[in-house]
Structure 1
Amino acid sequence: MGDYSKALSFYEKDLEICQKTLPSNHSDFATSYNNIGSVYSNMREYTKALSFYEKALEIEEKTLPPNHPDLATSYNRIGGVYNDVREYSKALSFYEKALEIRENTLPVDHPSLAISYNNIGNVYSNMGEYSKALSFYEKDLGISQKTLSSNHSDLAISYNSIGNVYKNMGQYSKALSFYEKALEIRQNTLSSNHPDLATSYNNIGVVYNKMEDYSKALSYYERALDIKQHALPPTHPSIKNVKESIEIVKRKL
């Protein structure tokens, strides 16, 4: 929290200088507003974040051409805040504006397009519209597979997202396949006690539990618990959740 207040203080001083020296529509104002909004977003003060992002966007919409990449970035930021506060239709609207600019201005395999597809996939997943989510996650994955190394952490995130959707759709063997791809990357690239590994083990445990393969579910849950107990404080709710999953599975064995 201390780092955030320092950042906020720094950016607010920067804004004061802009207010004293620049016309109100100067692009430096947009930069200042975006910086302050970003700090508030990281602090989860979403109403304040939105207020500053909207001030930045107002300047950018007046001063930039309609397909400018900075506009796409701003639409993306605002979409992210709406997603965080679960206003999914608004999130979708802003993410789609960002995507439209990027599709009109970038090559088809550009990483920023992958980010847009992933963001829209996340919103549809949060809305429970899994087939739409899958369509966007697959577009994201298609770009990532072409542009990233086979062990890149972003690929693991893509595989994990697709696994989540298949799990929620009840297609457990497909979910397992994608979760295992994510796990393989994480095993190859992360330390043995990294929390992302625990997430992968837990996800696979959940799927085996759903498939009624309880001994495998138990094995993966126990691996997840082992990492969480090393990596997290003992009262963390995530530890409690895995322990409960283990107890449930043990009763089914």
Structure 2
Amino acid sequence: MGEYSKALSFYKKALGIRQKTLPLNHLHLANFYNNIGLAYHSMRQYSKAFLFYEKALKIRQKTLPLNHPDLANSYNNIGGVYDDIGEYSKALSFYEKTLEIRQKPLPLNHPDLANSYNNIGWMYRHMGQYSKALSFYEKVLEIRQKTLPLYHPDLANSYNNIGVVYDDIGEYSKALSFYEKTLEIRQKTLPLNHPDLANSYNNIGWMYRNMGQYSKALSFYEKAFEIRQKTLPLYHPDLANSYNNIGGLYDDKGEYSKALSFYEETLEIRQKTLPLNHPDLANSYNNIGLAYHNMREYSKAVLFYETALEIRQKTLPLNHPDLANSYNNIGGVYDDIGEYLTALSFYEKTLEIRQKTLPLNHPDLANSYNNIGSMYQNMGQYLKALS
């Protein structure tokens, strides 16, 4: 962070000199605005970054041809800010503008094209459109396999992103295979305490957790956590991610008070660093709700679940899997307190989304059918339960 603030100081001094000698719409000024935006972006001061990126964009729109690479760069940077604050549909729009420009002058296998495909894939993944995400990630991988050395970090990044999508759709063995390819490259090319190595250990831990191999999961999570504690600031998002994942593991093992403690650490970081309606905040509220739910503190559970749902309804597409997850969790509380009709209503909302977005054999779909069947049985409607 200190290096970025130093860079910012020099950029501002240079800008002050240039503003006195150059016309308002001079391209050199746009470059300075862009660089100042980059520094603020790296320091996670998103509103300031956005302000300077927009100044750069306005000058470039007035002075450059429509398909100039610097215009693409501006669109890409603004997309990156929207991405980081969780406004994924806006980010997608800017990333698509970037791609439109880059596709016209660049060769088919150019790294900047791969970068654009990757960013668009990332947005579709966040918006729950997994088949589209996978399609873009595979385009990226194809370019990188043709143009990069076997152990290049960008190849590792591609394997990782494809693994994430397979993880999202419940194909855990495929996801693990891609995560292991990622780790192999990173272990050969990165220092022992590099943040990307921590990310790989974290993702492999997540897979073992999903496959029910909790001791292996904890071992990988702890490797990730150890690196992050040594290398990251106290309130870094990746540290929050580590607390969250270790909390999830304790949750799975039935150690709910420990889980709650880690989830609260996660929430504390996210509340200090993220906008009020950021999806990661919703995830934290949801997880704290889960811990209270498992501890049978139902009123607290529903309060946190509803806070998560409120954010998700404001920020996510109507059929996003995380919305289904929220409906399912609230339904689960009403189920547990014997309000079966209300529970059924939430379970049906869950099923409606999952039928539209998940593969036919996904475990979450089976879970939804089971929950609805149980509600009909509890209400004495046995034929409907069997159907």
**TM-score, normalised with respect to structure 1:** 0.79
Q: After the TM superposition, which of the residue ranges 192-201 and 131-140 deviates more from structure 2?
A: 192-201
Matched, 1:195 2:240: yes
Residue 214 (structure 1) aligns with: none
Cα displacement (A) at 1:186: 4.3
For 1:199, give the aligned amino acid: N
**CA deviations over 1:185-214 (Å, ceiling 9, x no partner):** 3455568895355235424423543xxxxx
Q: Does the 8 A contact of 1:27 with 1:59 survive in 2?
A: yes
Residue 87 (structure 1) aligns with: 129
Q: After the TM superposition, which of the residue ranges 89-98 and 35-44 deviates more from structure 2?
A: 35-44
Match of residue 67, structure 1, among 106, 109, 113:
109
Match of residue 203, structure 2, among 154, 158, 161:
161
For 1:29, give the aligned amino acid: L
Q: After the TM superposition, which of the residue ranges 45-54 and 219-228 deviates more from structure 2?
A: 219-228
**CA deviations over 1:103-133 (Å, ceiling 9, x no partner):** 1111111111111111111111111111111
Q: What stretches of structure 1 of length at least 5 have no aligned partner?
A: 210-216, 249-253
Cα displacement (A) at 1:145: 1.0
For 2:76, give the aligned amino acid: N
Cα displacement (A) at 1:58: 1.3
Inter-partner Cα distance in structure 2 for 1:187 and 1:4 = 24
Classify 1:158/1:245 alpha carbon distance in 2 versus 1 (closer, same or farther; 3 Å): farther
Q: Does the 8 A contact of 1:204 with 1:220 survive in 2?
A: no
Classify 1:22/1:126 alpha carbon distance in 2 versus 1 (closer, same or farther; 3 Å): same
Classify 1:55/1:184 alpha carbon distance in 2 versus 1 (closer, same or farther; 3 Å): closer
Matched, 1:39 2:84: no
Match of residue 259, structure 2, among 221, 227, 236:
221
For 2:213, give the aligned amino acid: Q
Q: Does the 8 A contact of 1:98 with 1:116 survive in 2?
A: yes
Q: What stretches of structure 2 of length at least 5 have no aligned partner?
A: 1-43, 272-280, 297-387
Inter-partner Cα distance in structure 1 for 2:292 and 2:169 = 27
Matched, 1:101 2:146: no
Classify 1:53/1:208 alpha carbon distance in 2 versus 1 (closer, same or farther; 3 Å): same
Inter-partner Cα distance in structure 1 for 2:62 and 2:264 = 56
Q: Does the 8 A contact of 1:186 with 1:196 survive in 2?
A: no
Q: Does the 8 A contact of 1:151 with 1:189 survive in 2?
A: yes
Q: How does 1:106-117 map to 2 (within 5 A)?
A: 106-117=148-159
RMSD of equivalent CA atoms: 3.1
Q: Residue 131 of structure 2: SS of its match in structure 1? A: helix
Q: Residue 64 of structure 1: SS of its match in structure 2? A: coil
Inter-partner Cα distance in structure 2 for 1:46 and 1:225 = 25
Q: Residue 197 of structure 2: SS of its match in structure 1? A: helix
Match of residue 13, structure 1, among 52, 55, 75:
55
Classify 1:239/1:232 alpha carbon distance in 2 versus 1 (closer, same or farther; 3 Å): farther
Classify 1:95/1:228 alpha carbon distance in 2 versus 1 (closer, same or farther; 3 Å): closer
Inter-partner Cα distance in structure 1 for 2:180 and 2:88 = 29
Residue 29 (structure 1) aligns with: 71
Inter-partner Cα distance in structure 2 for 1:40 and 1:225 = 26
For 1:42, give the aligned amino acid: D
Residue 213 (structure 1) aligns with: none
Residue 94 (structure 2) aligns with: 52
Classify 1:9/1:180 alpha carbon distance in 2 versus 1 (closer, same or farther; 3 Å): closer
Classify 1:19/1:246 alpha carbon distance in 2 versus 1 (closer, same or farther; 3 Å): closer
Matched, 1:240 2:288: yes
Cα displacement (A) at 1:245: 7.4
Cα displacement (A) at 1:63: 0.5
For 2:262, give the aligned amino acid: A
Q: Does the 8 A contact of 2:67 with 2:101 survive in 1?
A: yes
Classify 1:18/1:106 alpha carbon distance in 2 versus 1 (closer, same or farther; 3 Å): same
Structure label with greater radius of gyration:
2
Cα displacement (A) at 1:75: 0.7
Cα displacement (A) at 1:172: 3.2
Report % sequence identity.
56
Inter-partner Cα distance in structure 1 for 2:78 and 2:223 = 38
**CA deviations over 1:113-166 (Å, ceiling 9, x no partner):** 111111111111111111111111011111111112223332222112112112
**TM-score, normalised with respect to structure 2:** 0.54
Q: Does the 8 A contact of 1:176 with 1:207 survive in 2?
A: no
Inter-partner Cα distance in structure 1 for 2:47 and 2:230 = 37
Q: Residue 63 of structure 1: SS of its match in structure 2? A: coil
Count of matched residue pairs: 239
Cα displacement (A) at 1:36: 2.0
Classify 1:3/1:189 alpha carbon distance in 2 versus 1 (closer, same or farther; 3 Å): closer
